[in-house]
Amino acid sequence: MSSSETKIDFLSRISSPEDFKNIPDDQMPKVAAQIREVLVDTVTRNGGHLASNLGVVEMTMAIHKVFDSPKDHIIFDVGHQSYVHKLLTGRYKNIDTLRRAGGLCGFTNRDESEHDCFGAGHSSTSLSAGLGFAISDKLSGSDAHTVVVLGDGAYTGGMIHEALNNSQKALNLIIILNENEMSISKNIGRFAQNLSRLRTRPGYFKTKRATGRFLRKIPLIGNALFNFALGIKKAFKNLLYGSNYFESMGYTYLGPIDGNDYKAVTTLLREAKRLNESVVVHIKTQKGKGYAPAEQAPDVYHGMSPCTAENSQDMTFSAAMGKRLTELAAKNDKICAITAAMCDGTGLNEFKATHSERFFDVGIAEEHALTFAAGLAANGMKPAVAVYSTFLQRGYDNIVHDIALQNLPVVIFVDRAGLNSADGATHHGIFDVSFLSHIPNMTVYTPITLDALYSSMYAAFSSDSPCAIRYPNGREDETIKKEFYSTVQAGDIFDLSCRANFDPSDDPRVIIITHGRITAEAIKASQSLHQRGIHCGIILLEMLKPYDIIAGQIADMMPESAELIVFLEEEIRAGGMGISLSDKLKKYDSFNKKKNIIMAVDDSFVKDRKPEESIFESASIDAQSIYNHIVNNL
C-alpha cells in the first residue's frame, strides 16, 4: 500500500450516510484509519472522549452500512461515543468545532442533526427511549428499525433493566451491547470463540435457514424434528455461554463477536435486521483501538481535557476533595466513599487505593448510591457520595425520602456545580441549588477556594445531619482568592458564612450577593462601576442553607448607604439562592427599603452560544451584563 493510498480523504466526501454506503467494503480499513487520525487530532486539541470513540469505529461503520439513518433510529448510550457517527453523517467539515462554543456538541443532540434522533448526555436512558421509538413505529405501521448502542458501563444503570422488563419481542429493535471493560459474558474458551466466529460468516445464517426449511418439510416428523434440533442447539449453547438473560427477557441473542471486525459486525447486523424482531447483538471492542497510548491507558483517555489547557500544578476541586477525604478517613474509620462509576472524575482514586474496603463504586446507579449511603449512615457510618451535579438530579427522591426525612448524616459532594462550557446543557449543574434549597434538614455549602472546601468538609463530617458541598469544575480562581481570602493562611480551618470585600463606612451604593466562580464576574463588574463613580461592594456566600442564618448575617453586614441589592448566581432562578435568600431577608426592614434584583439563569438550559462568547455571556450574567443591569436600575 503506497503512502498516497493511505491519504485518501474519504470523510470529506461524506455529506450523508448514503455517501458512506457507496464506499466499497475493501476500502473500509482505510476509512477506519482516517477516522482514527481525525479522532486523535480533534480530541487531543479540544478535549472530549477519545478511548471509547476509538473503540467503536468499526461498529459505527457497520451500523451505517446496514441501516438507513435517519429513517432508522440510532441511539447511543452514552452519547459521548457518537463522534464516529457524527463523521459519517456529514459533520466532518465542522469536526474541529467539537465541544467548542457554537460548535458540535460532545453528545448526540437533536438540534444539531436529523441523524441524532435522541439526545443522551446521561447514561442508561437509551433502551427506554429505544422502546419508545420502536413501539411508536409499530403503532404507526413503519418498518423502520431502532438501533440502541449500549455500552457495558451504561448496562449497570437501573433504567436499562427496567426497560428490559418492559420489552416486547415483536419489535424492530436491535440492541448492540458493546462490552469493552466489564465482563458481562462468561470466559467461554477457544471452542466457543471459534463457534462465534463461525456464526459471523456470511453463509452461516443462509445455511441455518435452509436447514430449518428442509427439516420442516419432512413428512409427519418435520416440525418435531426441527424443535428437537432447536432444543439440542439451545442446550449446547447454554453449556458454552451459560443461561442467557436476554433470551429469557424475550430477545433473540447473537454473539459475542469481535466488535472491531467490520465484516463480522456487518454480517451479524444484517441478520439481526432481517429477523424483524427484538435482537441483542453482543460485541466486544477494545477501548482506544488503534492509538497505543489510549490502548494502554483507556481510563486516562476516556475523558480528556484539551492539551492546550493551562498546565497548572494546582489541584482541581475534585482532586483536592479526594485527597482531603483520604486523609480524614485515615483518622476516622467510619468514613466511606461512594461513587456512581465516576471514580476518576470525582477525584476518588487515592481513596480507592488507600481505603479499598471503604470505597464503593456502585456503577451508574445514582439512586442506589444515595440510599446505600443512607443505610450506611443509619448504622453508624459516615458516608460520602461524590457525584456530578447533573447526575445528582436522578437521586432527588432518595435525598428527600431516604436521607433528609430520616435526618441521616450523609455528605454529598456535588461536583461540576454551575455552568460547564465544554459539555453543554446536559452537564450544566444549575439545578442542585434549587432542589436542595427546599429540602428540610439539609445544609448546603458552596466553597470557592480549597481552604473553604476543607473547612466545609470539616463542618460536614462533624454534623449529625445531611450536608451537600457544591464546587465547580477546575481550579480555584486567584482573583476571588485575592479579593476575599488574602488573610487566610493555607490549611486554615474556619467557620463558613459570608465574606465582604467592603467596609460599610465606604458607603457603597450597590451590594452584589453571590457565590461560586461567577464571583469573578462580579469583581470585574464592580471594578467597572468604580470607574464610573459608583461604589459597589460584594458579599460572597460560603454556605447557602440554612437561609435564615445567612439572612441574619447579611442583614448585620448591610450598609445603610446601599440603594440596590443584586442577587447574582449561575444557577436556575426559580427556587435558587436569590429567591430563597431574598424571601428570608424580607423580615428585615433595612432590606425592604432597598431595591433588589435577581440575575440568574432564567428558565433556560443555556444551550448554544456564539464562538466569541463565554458561557456567562450566553446566559447574560457576565461582567458587562451585570454592569449594564446595575446602571439601568440605579
**Residue 361 φ/ψ, nearest 5 degrees:** -100, 110
Single out the residue of 407, 432, 399 nearest to residue 418, CA to CA: 432
Instruction: Tell me the C-alpha distance between 148 and 165, whole Å.
Output: 16
Q: Given the residues 366, 476, 521, 570, select the one marked as catalytic.
A: 366
233 is known as an active-site residue: no
Instruction: Tell me the C-alpha distance between 55 and 60, whole Å.
Output: 10
Q: Given the residues 324, 394, 470, 584, select the one marked as catalytic.
A: 394
Please check whether residue 62 is in contact with residue 269, taking contact to mean a CB–CB distance below 8 angstroms. yes
End-to-end CA distance of the chain: 73
366 is known as an active-site residue: yes
Q: Given the residues 287, 289, 352, 517, select the one marked as catalytic.
A: 287
**CA angle centred on 394, ends 361 and 285, rounded to 5°:** 50
Q: Give the cell for residue 518.
A: 461567577
Report the SS3 class of residue 393: helix
Single out the residue of 82, 76, 78 nearest to residue 95, CA to CA: 82
Please check whether residue 470 is in contact with residue 510, taking contact to mean a CB–CB distance below 8 angstroms. no
Please check whether residue 254 is in contact with residue 199, taking contact to mean a CB–CB distance below 8 angstroms. yes
Q: How many CA atoms lie within 13 A of 38 on its CB side?
A: 28
Please check whether residue 486 is in contact with residue 520, taking contact to mean a CB–CB distance below 8 angstroms. no
Please name the amino acid found at residue 234.
K
Q: Give the cell for residue 384.
A: 460520602
Phi-psi region of 604 (alpha: psi -120 to 50; beta: other; left: phi over 0): beta
Instruction: Tell me the C-alpha distance between 406 and 399, whole Å.
Output: 10
Please check whether residue 516 is in contact with residue 569, taking contact to mean a CB–CB distance below 8 angstroms. yes
Contacts of 146 (CB under 8 A, 6+ apart): 72, 73, 75, 130, 133, 134, 137, 171, 172, 173, 174
Q: Where are the alpha helices (DSSP H) in 462-566?
A: 478-484, 519-531, 547-557
Task: Tell me if the bond preceding 611 is cis, omega within 30° of 0.
Answer: no
Phi-psi region of 251 (alpha: psi -120 to 50; beta: other; left: phi over 0): beta
470 is known as an active-site residue: no
Q: Which residues are catalytic?
A: 287, 366, 394
